[in-house]
Chain A
Amino acid sequence: MPEAARSRRVPELAISSTSTLVTHTGSWKYMRPEYHDRVAPCNQGCPVGIDIEGYMALLREGRLTDAADLLLRENPMPATTGRVCHHPCESACNRRELDGAVAIHAVERMLGDFALERELAAPPVSPRGTAVAVVGSGPAGLACAYHLARLGHRVTVFEAAAEAGGMLRLGIPEYRLPRVVLDREINRIRAAGVTIHCGVRVGSEDLPWGTLLARFDATFLASGAHVSRPLGVAGETAIGVRAGLDFLKEVNRGGRPSIGDVVVTVGGGNTAIDCARTARRLGARSTILYRRTRAEMPAIAQEIDEAEREGVEFVFLAAPVGFTLDGDRLRAIECTRMQLGPPDESGRRRPVPTDERFTLPADTVLTAIGEAIDPDGLPLAGTGTAIPTDMWGQTARAGVFAGGDLAEQPRSVADALGAGKRAAIGIDRHLRERAGAPLEHREPDALRLGGRGNLSMTRWRDDDPVPRVAPLNEVVTYEDLNPAHFERANRHEDWSLPLEAAVGGFDEVNRGLDRPAGLAEARRCFNCGVCNECELCLIFCPDVAITRRNGHGFLIDLTYCKGCGVCVTECPRGAMLLTREGLS
């Protein structure tokens, strides 16, 4: 205030000459609000390690290309996973608590199809001198090869089959994963700089292990599990009894084997469901025989529903004990009734046989009780049922990495893609160390979205295109959110082919969501833990202490903030924390 004004007497009508900004009310506070981006539970739940929240936020802004780019950084095959993944991300989704999980798989699929339609791809990186071999072109091998190529390594994939794709091509039927989709996703992986040699079985005289290991700086083993487990029941070798995976491989190659009118499939996993649904499409009456109940079936629940809708019958709590043959022709399968006992090591109740017997007529029996790895076909000694690796995917043999169905991990496409990425990071790290140029120390836990999830390639490369505010690697629970700011909105359900058309051929059954519905579904996402600039904190602050920061995010003026915590409580998505003043 100028000297003259200060010396003036208080006028009869007191008139203000300054604002309250001279009063620094920030000194009152003992709590301090802070912005922290945290981790959405879907991100932790995704075995691929995708920043789901991140692409949902970009889709909210209508930025499809940026969203697809973020997705393709972590997942080379979103149009595939969007169709066949069992989506554990959705089981983790916070929106379940309000009105149903976000249909993440459908949004991913919409975005994956968008990327194919627009032929989006990262520009190829010119390779450095290091050469890596990948054995097997299933999702694990393809993911490892893709990520390594994007990291600048020269990658060659060897595949025993005539075409690339692993179980995606050999096992999973066309009506769930059209081959044009698979082909185009594999082409994009090739375009990233990956060479794929098909028809080469590593370990045969084509290419002995010794030659391979000598020729490459590192090797990733991803040959999967293709040996069908036998039932262990007499008569199993009779004509008409067949490994389900074999049957699927034949049909998927275009074969149409004659299976008769009545087919019984033994098993409860995805292979069993695919066998039964494929048998329906070949015109047979199709029954699944499973020794536990529906609740224990390891197959994807949605697939079980689809099978039921298509008229597949289920006989639960039953196991095969023999076959009725007429000469060398199968007539029926002999079964024993089971009951559920105490839980076994998988946590599911163990089925125990009873004395009750019955037979089911069958022209063909398909066995689908699981697939094992082929330990003889590997350059590793003493492998049991699965290959152990360390947290970077490295086996007991230096420079040899493994992942996917071959390794100790859940058997799914997403887990295989995640394992391929983990090994790519492990191999990159290994080769950099060997070359004396290690990346600054990065612990695997710091590369995991939330600590339990899979590794993030973006974190490994440290080139996140999404601006982060004081990020914390902790997962946001529903209790951390303020649901008052979310309106109820029904989940968009996938559109399916009418029943007759579905069973009548091999056309894709589930058609997902079209783009407008997919974008609307993305707007259902809460964006857990990450500020999406809704401005509620700014609006509700009683002290006008919050302003927009240039570019991104917000500033809290601690000169005036009184530490009430209203902003933190009102943030819909847990992107703010209240800390004790002076202690953080």
Chain B
Amino acid sequence: MSQLMIADQVPGDELMASGHLACPGCGAPMAMRMVLKALGPKTVVVMPACCWSIIAGPWPQSSLGVPLYHTAFETGAAVASGVKAALEMRGDRQTTVMVWAGDGGTFDIGLQALSGAAERNEDIIYCCYDNEAYMNTGIQRSSATPWGAWTTTTPAAHPESNAKKDILAILAAHRIPYAATASVAYPVDLLEKVRKAKAIRGTRFLHILSPCPPGWKYEDDATVELGRMAVQTRVFPLLEVEDGVTWRFTAEHAGDAVEPYLRRQGRFRHLTADQIEGVQASVDARWAALERRVANGT
């Protein structure tokens, strides 16, 4: 087949409604929509503070067709563990409990709760939609912000000076049964991973890259395109890890140059040619390491 006929591959039922409050072109609702399509209606969502807390709508509205529990910023995985325990007490072992958190709520403030739940192998799915900064409060850097990026707390004169935290490796190191990356630009890959995760018991982790037009500074229509470029440049490879040891790529990664990807985004506008070369070198090095991991396991 030389064309993507996605109509045959994506379930039609919608569990997310229009009228939500995401910015135009936001990747976050794209991610939620696909994930819920794969999980189905027997799902409870636990959500720490993030853009999605707003996207879901003000009380008494909700943009989700499944129960959604808003909770404190640092507590996503802990609350989900509790919700799951409560459901089991009531004899419900079918309902999926999913945390839906931003990168700030995952990489930074929610990390200890997440690590604890993963260590206990709680029977939850934890989804981090990653827009690479604290967007809801006005674009502050997080430990998911890539090297060189502008944010309001890392202005162009002093852009982000640390590399993005390798959250997948951290979760893999917990030896949880399933951890994966995904992208809003690859909906079929995302659906497959969620279906796979749903069928497993224990802690499952999904890291979904979710481009953000105002935070990354690009035109609203380019969200999917940037998601695709992130994968094809190997900036954000599509991977899955089983039991923390079996690493696998789940897509072809063309290895396109990173420069056009960076140049599409205003948050990287200040980068010099040398700096872009540096980014390319670190992407290449990380890719080489990943290939070794995929080849050898661990």
Contact = CB atoms under 8 A, between A and B. Distances in A.
Interface of A: 1, 10, 14-25, 28-29, 484-489, 523-524, 526-527, 532-536, 539-540, 542-545, 557, 559-560, 562-566, 568-570, 572, 578
A543 B23 CA distance: 10
Contact of A534 (B4, B27, B57): B4
A570 B4 CA distance: 12
Given A16-B62, A29-B24, A489-B2, A22 B19 contact: yes
B33 interface: yes
Contacts of B223: 542, 564, 566
Interface string B28-66: 111001000000000000000000000011011111010
A544 B63 CA distance: 11
Nearest to A5: B60
Interface string B218-238: 011111110010000000000
Interface in B10-36: 10, 14, 16-30, 33
Contacts of A572: 3-4
A524 B57 CA distance: 43
B224 A22 contact: no
Given A569-B222, A569-B224, A534 B6 contact: yes
A23 B225 CA distance: 28
B157 interface: no
B20 A25 contact: yes
A22 B20 contact: no
Interface in B185-202: 187
A544 B16 contact: yes
A42 to B, nearest CB: 16
Given A19-B63, A523-B1, A544-B33, A533 B7 contact: yes
B5 interface: yes
B79 to A, nearest CB: 13
B21 A23 contact: yes
Contact of B221 (A524, A545, A578): A578
Interface size class of B (residues with CB under 8 A): 35 or more
A563 B24 contact: yes
Contacts of A570: 224-225
A16 B63 CA distance: 10
Interface of B: 1-7, 10, 14, 16-30, 33, 56-57, 59-63, 65, 68, 187, 213, 219-225, 228
A566 B25 contact: yes
A543 B223 CA distance: 13
Given A568-B221, A569-B224, A19 B4 contact: no
Nearest to A544: B18
B27 A569 contact: no
Given A19-B19, A25-B18, A484-B228, A542 B30 contact: yes
A540 B19 contact: no
A540 B21 CA distance: 17
A547 to B, nearest CB: 9
Nearest to B232: A484
Given A25-B18, A487-B2, A542-B27, A10 B59 contact: yes
A20 B61 contact: yes
Nearest to A536: B6
B36 to A, nearest CB: 11
B18 A20 contact: yes
A535 B1 contact: no
Nearest to B220: A564
Contacts of B16: 544
Q: Which of A487, A526, A559 has the most CB of B within 10 A?
A: A487
A21 B4 contact: no
B29 A16 contact: no
Contact of A25 (B1, B19, B28, B225): B19
Nearest to A98: B2
Contact of A487 (B1, B24, B25, B63): B1
A287 B144 CA distance: 72
22 contacts: A15-B60, A16-B61, A19-B61, A21-B19, A23-B19, A23-B20, A484-B228, A487-B2, A487-B4, A488-B2, A534-B4, A542-B26, A542-B30, A543-B22, A544-B29, A544-B33, A545-B18, A563-B24, A564-B223, A565-B221, A566-B220, A578-B221
A572 B3 CA distance: 9
Contact of A526 (B3, B28, B63, B68): B3
Contacts of B10: 535, 539
A18 B60 contact: yes
